[in-house]
Structure 1
Amino acid sequence: MAVLDITDDGFRLDGQPFRILSGGLHYFRVHPEQWADRLHKARLMGLNTVETYVPWNLHQPRPDSFTTDGFLDLPRFLELAATEGLHVLLRPGPYICAEWEGGGLPSWLLADPEMRLRSTQPAYLEAVDGFLDRLLPAVLPYLATRGGPVLAVQVENEYGAYGSDTAYLEHLAQALKQRGVDVPLFTADQPGDLADGGLDGVLRTVNFGGRAAQGLAALRELQPQGPLMCAEFWNGWFDRWGGVHTVRPAADAAAVLEEMLAAGASVSFYMFHGGTNFGFTNGANDKGLYRATVTSYDYDAPLDEAGDPTPKYAAFREVLARYGEVPDAPVPPPGPKLAVPGIALDLTAPLWDALDALGELVSGERPLGMEELGQAFGFVLYSATLPEAGPALLHLPVVRDRAQVFVDGQPVGVLERENDDHALAFTSPRAGAELRILVENQGRVNYGQAVHDRKGLFGPVTVNGRPLGPWSSRPLPLDSLSGLAFVPSTAAAVVGPAFHRGEFEIEAPADSHLHLPGWTKGNAWVNGFNLGRYWSRGPQRSLYVPAPVLRPGRNELTVLELHASTTRSAELRQTADLGPLED
């Protein structure tokens, strides 16, 4: 591959003028068996480059472990990009935002109550340096200076929206260079944050969705010479639970793209292909109100969640053809889709009967937070004994993020961070009744100062004004369901959360969408693969099922329903339902 140079009049690739035409494609949001397909479609749209973040929290789930396997096989992704003839912009963070859980910062950092994320605090920098020590040896062979596809590497991410500590950015830049990164470095910030988020000697780029002239002018004011580049052209947007499905007309986005390219700027679409927040990996925002991001990261992008071209694909391709080389090939057709109606979920495993198989109980005088329990994702079940019978007023000072409350196994209410709920009244049936509080991590905040987002129950929990305790805290990460013992379902309703399982037969795998009409809230797994969260609150009404998680013949569907359902069946459909559109 060729080496990128930054000159006063723009980018040069092996000495020749070069315009970066890039698109966001996060390997960790796409099944590895689909990477090659998505990369090929990027090149066919007219892109010469793709960009990806690197999620620290998945690569290093614990301080003493590091992985580049499966969904996290970054070297293989880089190899596939090179095979397709695409360059790569690598964005290793350590903070990535991305509407991703915690902005990619691992939850174990927050086990230290004094931790100051995205700062020069020695404990934080030591952790960052340890991450880079593990990551970069896997990446260095793929730098353009060594014949690989990686043209440039980003320093942090939109730091100007968070702080102004130049020493922090300098540490990160030097940390990359000292570990062998010898391709150009760059920063990326929104127009109003360019001064605080930039670093002398490092290329500044700008992020925006519209008003291209103003955004590029803000960049040029701070960087009088060198390339103009929009590192994130927001051609779509993400959705949140309880909202609507956000879309942007293709013609509108294409007009902004034309404006940028006519001004001589380089561009990277955010996103080219969004993919999916599988499992529990979605992030959240909290700007005074907590709002969790949905499972789908379709992003109204040129390629939809299933990898099919949208109207934006054709519209962008037409514009790109006027400024670069677009392969002489038709727009790729949609891939095959699978439909399986009426999947009976006729086996049941109540959560209360499966606790010992899912997590070990930890005793203490107070409820323990997820981070204290060494847990990143999922749920914690808190238990204590109610001292007396009769009216009870439960007060939870801090709920992170959603607490389902049970007395002797019976549901008595829900307290949600999103609604700023803190108190619940109920009647205790007897002295010594068991209080259970099932707390769900709905996604750590990924933007702003609220990234210090510890999960669980915090502060003294009281009943009728008196502190309650002792407590047991049981982590339920649900990273494996192998220990569940299912029994045939009965006509009687299941009280409390329960797993439901059924089987279905197919001849050949193909992409599909799981629809759960009549179900309320929970997660779904196909053949042990966690598709993500569903919630009748919407807007998202279906879950994307990648073809590679299916197999010819018998397949298994498992659903964790946290509340109740009006049915014991589900279905696979050929079409997605991401919800009602924005007005």
Structure 2
Amino acid sequence: MNDEPIQLISGAIHYFRIVPEYWEDRLRKLKACGFNCVETYIPWNLHEPKEGEFNFSGIADVEEFIRIAEKVGLYVIARPSPYICAEWEFGGLPSWLLADSNMRVRSHYEPYLEKVDNYYDVLLERFKPLLQTNGGPIIAMQIENEYGSYGNDKRYLTYIKEAMVKREIDVLLFTSDGPTDLMLQGGSVDNVLATVNFGSRPKESFAKLQEHFPNTPNIVMEYWNGWFDHWGEKHHQRDPQDAADTFAEMLQSGASVNFYMFHGGTNFGFYNGANFDENYQPTITSYDYDCPISETGDLTPKFHAVREAVAKHKDLGELVLPEPIPKKKYGTVKMKESNNLFEALNQISNLVKNTHPVSMEKLGQDYGFVLYRTFLKGPLDEAPLTIQDVRDRALVYVNQEFKGVIDRWENNKLMIEVPEEGIQLDLLVENMGRINYGPLLNDPKGITEGVRFERQFLFDWEIYSLPMDNLENLTFNENQLQPEENPIFYMGTFEVKEIGDTFVELAGWKKGIVLVNGFNIGRYWEIGPQKTLYIPGPLLKKGINEIVVFDMHGTKNPEIELIDTHKLG
């Protein structure tokens, strides 16, 4: 830096997982820990939610995030590769790519590259004034992310590199990959800095990097000091001292380190991703990641252990922190009004008729739910109902009576019979998050092929898109006795005199989403490990606030608690 050697001590903070009002708080805590740089991904699907329509406001105002980092005194590493992984929906790729059944992502496939070019024309122009070469804080940018874990298309990687260069991105360009022969060979590009990602054994990892790139700087672009959680797992935790000791070893060796994550934040709305190893594994709403700074912005024991490691390496002075953010307990909220999804369909969705059930992407829908409806004539003896293939979880109703679940796990069929008068068959399918890593990235949602009763495909469908992004026309009535196990919207209000962070506790609720003053704070599921949802204070207002809960299975006790403690694990 300025012709002097520099050791980067960087931490990952994702602006898109934090309400903008808290960006400065989180960045100041990173600086207070002795770090000199912040790293962030740039998710394509946030910034181009519909093809040709761009969003750089609110939580998507990445330029403001970078300017705040500069004000705080941090360098910035930006990672605008089309694909980011990040346990983020579809690895940051926009779902509308999948409306084209022939689409091939992350390769030299011209229809894909054309979409990338259109995005880069808009995105990279915004970064130019923020580059270090133009007096800004951005010192490096990534061309692709862990590409060696996916493919070996050097023509594609070169294209992405040149796409950045010709748009006047003239700061250091880099790749990042796992420390194996396969990954480093597949993911690296000539004349682009190679870095490695790992969580332990730095000597072995850096040795592998040097084997492929002799005399290159030792840089770990992702030092995994914690980990993320899937639904149904225990909350991951790593001993703070172990994480700090590994970090200290790298610092003492002269390596540059980027902590992944320093502060994780929250997968608001439907933006969580999913993995697929032996089976489908959707990620929870919390992206706490067992970080030095918790999901809610609190210092953890890991923060202090890490700061001590930095303090042994350079003088940090006194720990100076922003003012603490209050946490509030607003008490019980009685959800006094409700509406059954079947009654609300025409208020929040438009009917599409089609011979076949079609995928969410073909409907022009990104996230949420789709309800598929057809009619079967009887009589038909009991036989298995099968969805070919369901992505990801379908609730099955016969004449609006719940019959069971068909999903991507073990529940692959359901026995039903059809009486002489026939039945109305409803399938409510939830997109639980597109796969964000590995060979199964192509993960269209809804019903992707067809529905069979016994061996017979069923045709003539009524289809209702339910993205849940606009519920303004949804009406509520005083709570009435709702059908057992039906999908139901509940609404309640609560008064706020002093604004602070709070947490929704959903004891007795099963599976669904929560909206606060119209903002979708994320999903909940009784299987855990997450037992509360985080409501950042800036989402609240003084006076009366509205909270809507959509539970796919309904609840017998329609009330929630707003408490001052996060329950995770």
Q: TM-score, normalised by structure 2?
A: 0.97
Please state whether the residue corresponding to 2:144 is helix, strand or coil: coil
Q: Determine which of 178, 182, 190 is the counterpart of 1:190.
A: 178
- Aligned mates of 2:48, 2:316 — CA distance in 1: 38
Counterpart residue number, 2:387: 396
Is the 8 Å Cα contact of residues 44 and 94 (structure 2) preserved in structure 1? yes
- Aligned mates of 1:423, 1:368 — CA distance in 2: 19
What are the Cα deviations for residues 213-237 of structure 1, in whole angstroms up to 9, with x where unaligned?
A: 1111111111212321100000000
What are the Cα deviations for residues 280-305 of structure 1, in whole angstroms up to 9, with x where unaligned?
A: 00000012310100000000001000
Confirm whether residue 508 of structure 1 aligns to residue 493 of structure 2. Answer: no
Counterpart residue number, 1:181: 169
Counterpart residue number, 2:455: 465
1:237-316 matched pairs, under 5 angstroms: 237-316=227-306
What are the Cα deviations for residues 47-101 of structure 1, in whole angstroms up to 9, with x where unaligned?
A: 1100000010111111121110111001111111111111100001200000000
Once the two structures are TM-superposed, the CA of residue 16 in structure 1 deviates from its matched residue by 1.5
Paired residues in the alignment total: 566
One-letter code aligned to 2:184: L
Counterpart residue number, 2:37: 49
Is the 8 Å Cα contact of residues 519 and 561 (structure 1) preserved in structure 2? yes
Once the two structures are TM-superposed, the CA of residue 165 in structure 1 deviates from its matched residue by 1.1
- Aligned mates of 2:395, 2:481 — CA distance in 1: 24
- Aligned mates of 1:498, 1:325 — CA distance in 2: 57
Once the two structures are TM-superposed, the CA of residue 431 in structure 1 deviates from its matched residue by 3.2
What are the Cα deviations for residues 293-341 of structure 1, in whole angstroms up to 9, with x where unaligned?
A: 0000000001000001101111111111222353522466753101122
Confirm whether residue 376 of structure 1 aligns to residue 341 of structure 2. Answer: no
- Aligned mates of 1:267, 1:493 — CA distance in 2: 55
Is the 8 Å Cα contact of residues 291 and 418 (structure 1) preserved in structure 2? no
Counterpart residue number, 1:131: 119
What are the Cα deviations for residues 481-531 of structure 1, in whole angstroms up to 9, with x where unaligned?
A: 111110000355555101001011121111111100000000001111111
Confirm whether residue 557 of structure 1 aligns to residue 547 of structure 2. Answer: yes
| TM-aligned CA distance change 1:384 to 1:44, over 3 Å | same
Q: Determine which of 515, 538, 542 is the counterpart of 2:532.
A: 542
One-letter code aligned to 2:374: A
Question: Percent same amino acid at aligned positions?
Answer: 46
| TM-aligned CA distance change 1:64 to 1:492, over 3 Å | closer
Is the 8 Å Cα contact of residues 101 and 444 (structure 1) preserved in structure 2? yes
Q: Determine which of 88, 95, 104 is the counterpart of 2:92.
A: 104
Counterpart residue number, 2:400: 409
Unaligned runs of 5+ in 2: none
Q: Determine which of 68, 73, 96 is the counterpart of 1:85.
A: 73
Is the 8 Å Cα contact of residues 28 and 321 (structure 2) preserved in structure 1? no
One-letter code aligned to 2:404: G
Is the 8 Å Cα contact of residues 379 and 476 (structure 1) preserved in structure 2? yes
Once the two structures are TM-superposed, the CA of residue 191 in structure 1 deviates from its matched residue by 0.2
Counterpart residue number, 2:508: 518
- Aligned mates of 2:453, 2:247 — CA distance in 1: 58
Q: Determine which of 222, 225, 231 is the counterpart of 1:235.
A: 225
1:479-490 matched pairs, under 5 angstroms: 479-490=469-480
RMSD: 1.3
- Aligned mates of 2:67, 2:421 — CA distance in 1: 64
Is the 8 Å Cα contact of residues 20 and 48 (structure 1) preserved in structure 2? yes
Please state whether the residue corresponding to 1:450 is helix, strand or coil: coil
Counterpart residue number, 2:335: 345
Is the 8 Å Cα contact of residues 385 and 414 (structure 2) preserved in structure 1? yes
Is the 8 Å Cα contact of residues 143 and 160 (structure 2) preserved in structure 1? yes
Is the 8 Å Cα contact of residues 377 and 418 (structure 2) preserved in structure 1? no
Counterpart residue number, 1:8: none
Q: Determine which of 152, 164, 172 is the counterpart of 1:164.
A: 152
- Aligned mates of 2:557, 2:420 — CA distance in 1: 33
| TM-aligned CA distance change 1:474 to 1:322, over 3 Å | same
Unaligned runs of 5+ in 1: 1-12
One-letter code aligned to 2:164: L
Please state whether the residue corresponding to 1:449 is helix, strand or coil: coil
- Aligned mates of 1:213, 1:170 — CA distance in 2: 30
- Aligned mates of 1:508, 1:133 — CA distance in 2: 44
Is the 8 Å Cα contact of residues 241 and 305 (structure 2) preserved in structure 1? yes
Once the two structures are TM-superposed, the CA of residue 273 in structure 1 deviates from its matched residue by 0.4
